[in-house]
Amino acid sequence: MHLHVYSYLNSVNCHRIFVCYQKKCIGYNLYGLIIQTAVTLHECSLTIVRKQCMELNATRPDPVVPPVEITLYYESLCPGCRAFLTEQLFPTWTLLKDIMNVNLVPFGNAKKLPEENSFSCQHGEPECYASMVEACVLHAANHAAFPVIYCMESSADVLKSAKPVSQHNSEPTLLPLTTIESCTRGELGHRLMHQNAVKTQALKPAHTHVPWITFNGVRPSQSRAFALIVIYRGIKPPVCTGALKKLDRSFC
């Protein structure tokens, strides 16, 4: 017995399964009801084309299913945080940005001191300043901030890279260097750091190390990549099945 099964999505996202058996192609919807019958295998071969349509549709976000909210709590000069952000999180985001939103919270194991607007950071004063710079970048650039943060964290010197990154940003009007400098020197930078401290200290369970990541506000029990695929309830993009996707731009 030769049995071939193909799956595809039609234009209204109705999932169908075509079973080719004994020179007949019988279509079923999700509820097992017969919706189409053909007398030749030619119709069955057309389902391969329809399957390609499914893969094309899967690259687009499902408007009904919200993206997974991924939040990274990290320190700007922590080697492990930098490696995770640049080697795992950012490459994943470039492939799956349609189904995931990334929220960055630079603070980590820093401590708020009794003195007003004062913090103590695990990697010293340079990290406190670098984290504030990144907090200001996130505030000023909003959705365009992640590539900027990536370029800073992937450079040899996070702080020294802030100026050239701002100058070479693909949309420099979104991130003028004077805006970032004004933020770090004024009340706004300290207020943003305070907000990050509150967010970090409110974690339940409390973070025990950095990088610390949550999916929709919950610490995943599975591996991070597997958790993303499991949590997202929409159509999985082709890359989730091992399909290759070429990146056609440089971010830095």
* DSSP letter string, 81-133: HHHHIIIIIHHHHHHHTTTEEEEEEETTT-EE-SSTT-EE-TT-HHHHHHHHH
Fold held by 68-231: Glutaredoxin (3.40.30)
CA distance 186 to 166: 19
pTM of the model: 0.71
3-state secondary structure of 166: helix
CA distance 183 to 173: 16
Rounded percentage of the chain residues whose pLDDT exceeds 90: 44
Retrieve residue 50's tokens: 């329809």
pLDDT at 192: 97
- Mean pLDDT over 106-130 rounds to 92
The residue assigned the tokens 């369970």 is: 205
Residue 25 in this model has a pLDDT that exceeds 50: no
What pLDDT digit, counting tens, does each position of 171-224 carry? 544 567 788 999 999 999 999 999 999 999 999 999 999 999 999 999 987 667
Residue type for 67, please? P
Q: How far apart are the first and last CA of the chain?
A: 56
Residue-averaged pLDDT of the chain: 75
Per-domain boundaries in the chain? 3-57, 68-231
CA distance 57 to 33: 24
